[in-house]
């Protein structure tokens, strides 16, 4: 739990690669105020202008000459070249490579803390080249750093979303932020078995499967098409057992108020908003982080080991220019009250998965060697048959 003994802590933020403001909204709930937001994509800008009307908004980080004098700089830089669903061009790809501008700006700035967020895949892509680049740049600038892989479910949202949170400082120990809490991952009894989330864009090599949760909401499929996940409601009648959640449910599954991204609707169909939500930082994760930035704690006694350069990056580590250490930390720093999936999705607004999507997924599932619940496969088959019948003709499709 957070230590109540505190001195004055950081209170101002500059948000780079701000997206729709997930980091900034979470930090604001922990008592921070944004003094600058930087985001280039117009639909995201529309959201930021509406939700943070009094905060100056800069467009392209490549044109940003300097940072304001703030306590925290956040950078949820593009994951496009790092994620499994993206191009995997790596840290020096056209999109993800923009993070180099963060370090150029930090060379002339003195924030107390720097926060980076990105996908789990950057720990292993190209043998961890992305992590080596980030760590080396922080060390070059005289920062101590720490990172930890966390699962958004620890904040109570039923979305299995694993993201790397990295904190660095020239003057403070980042372990007091990232490693002061560890609740441990709960067992299966933590979850109900009445609903399961999955990605219908997969099936041959993976299910994107999650019990009592949706799998990671993502900006787009491997084809670059924004697509919502689906859920299997075990005891629902055929035709209502395989459905896709409403966009507003996806927003709340990321910790935002419903219709947070509504200002982006003017820039295209709902796919744009799905992409914005999928690219965002879960608000509750940022709020937990913000509380610890304001009130650092004592690092918990965890198993640590020397991490030689070139070794595989673990799920948690810390270090500086002199030494690097692995840390045996779980992905659950806390266990906040959990909202079960069927408590978080409005089934009345959920739309049955279309015949085309269901049939394509079921076909891939049949030829795969994946292990899955036999009842699930049967439910998908029955749903495809029902969607092909006259009974489904009046049903809205996705």
Say what the pLDDT of residue 6 is.
46
CA 81 from centre of chain: 15
317 in the same domain as 180 = yes
56 in the same domain as 150 = yes
- Name the residue with higher pLDDT: 39 or 2: 39
The verdict on residue 211 lying in a domain is yes
60 in the same domain as 196 = no
The verdict on residue 332 lying in a domain is no
71 in the same domain as 17 = yes
The verdict on residue 53 lying in a domain is yes
383 close to 353: Cβ distance less than 8 angstroms: yes
The verdict on residue 114 lying in a domain is yes
Q: What is the mean pLDDT of residues 145-153?
A: 98
Confidence of residue 9 (pLDDT cuts 50, 70, 90): very low
The verdict on residue 182 lying in a domain is yes
* Signed CA dihedral, 47, 50, 54, 56: sign only: positive
Range of lowest pLDDT (72-81, 141-150, 197-206, 362-371): 72-81
**For the chain, what is the domain count?**
2
- Stated pTM of the model: 0.92
Say what the pLDDT of residue 353 is.
95
The verdict on residue 273 lying in a domain is no
203 in the same domain as 315 = no
Say what the pLDDT of residue 395 is.
63
Could you tell me the CATH number of the domain that includes residue 133?
3.40.50.150
- Residue numbers of the domain that contains 375: 191-254+340-392
143 close to 169: Cβ distance less than 8 angstroms: yes
170 in the same domain as 69 = yes
The verdict on residue 198 lying in a domain is yes
The verdict on residue 261 lying in a domain is no
Q: Which residues are catalytic?
A: 79
177 in the same domain as 90 = yes
213 in the same domain as 137 = no
């Amino acid at each position: 739990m957070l230590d109540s003994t505190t001195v004055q802590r950081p209170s101002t933020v500059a948000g780079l690669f701000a997206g729709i403001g997930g980091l900034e909204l979470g930090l604001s709930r922990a008592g921070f105020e944004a003094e600058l937001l930087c985001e280039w994509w117009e639909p995201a800008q529309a959201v930021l202008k509406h939700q943070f009307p009094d905060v100056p908004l800069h467009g392209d980080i490549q044109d940003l000459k300097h940072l304001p004098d703030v306590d925290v700089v956040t950078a949820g830089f593009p994951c496009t070249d790092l994620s499994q669903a993206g191009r995997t061009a790596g840290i020096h790809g056209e999109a993800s490579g923009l993070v180099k501008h963060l370090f150029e700006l930090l060379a002339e700035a003195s924030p107390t803390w720097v926060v980076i967020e990105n996908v789990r895949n950057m720990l292993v892509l190209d043998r961890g080249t992305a992590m080596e680049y980030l760590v080396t740049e922080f060390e070059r600038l005289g920062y101590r750093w720490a990172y930890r892989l966390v699962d958004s479910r620890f904040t109570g949202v039923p979305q299995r979303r694993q993201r790397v949170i990295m904190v660095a400082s020239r003057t403070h120990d980042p372990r007091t932020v990232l490693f002061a809490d560890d609740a441990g991952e709960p067992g299966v009894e933590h979850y109900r078995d009445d609903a399961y989330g999955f990605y219908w864009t997969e099936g041959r090599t993976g299910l994107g499967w999650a019990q009592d949760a949706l799998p990671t909401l993502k900006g787009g499929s491997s084809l670059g098409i924004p697509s919502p996940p689906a859920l299997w409601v075990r005891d629902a009648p055929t035709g209502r057992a395989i459905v896709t959640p409403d966009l507003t449910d996806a927003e709340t599954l990321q910790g935002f108020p419903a219709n947070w991204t509504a200002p982006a609707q003017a820039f295209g169909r709902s796919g744009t908003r799905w992409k914005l939500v999928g690219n965002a930082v879960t608000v509750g994760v940022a709020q937990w982080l913000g509380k610890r930035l304001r009130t650092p704690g004592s690092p918990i006694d965890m198993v640590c080991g020397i991490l030689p350069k070139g070794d595989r990056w673990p799920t948690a580590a810390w270090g500086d220019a002199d030494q690097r250490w692995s840390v045996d930390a779980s992905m659950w720093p806390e266990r906040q009250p959990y909202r079960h999936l069927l408590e978080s999705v409005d089934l009345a607004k959920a739309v049955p998965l279309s015949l085309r999507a269901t049939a394509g997924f079921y076909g891939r599932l049949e030829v795969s060697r994946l292990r899955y619940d036999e009842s699930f496969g049967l439910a998908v088959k029955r749903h495809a048959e029902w969607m092909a019948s006259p009974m489904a003709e009046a049903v809205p499709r996705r």
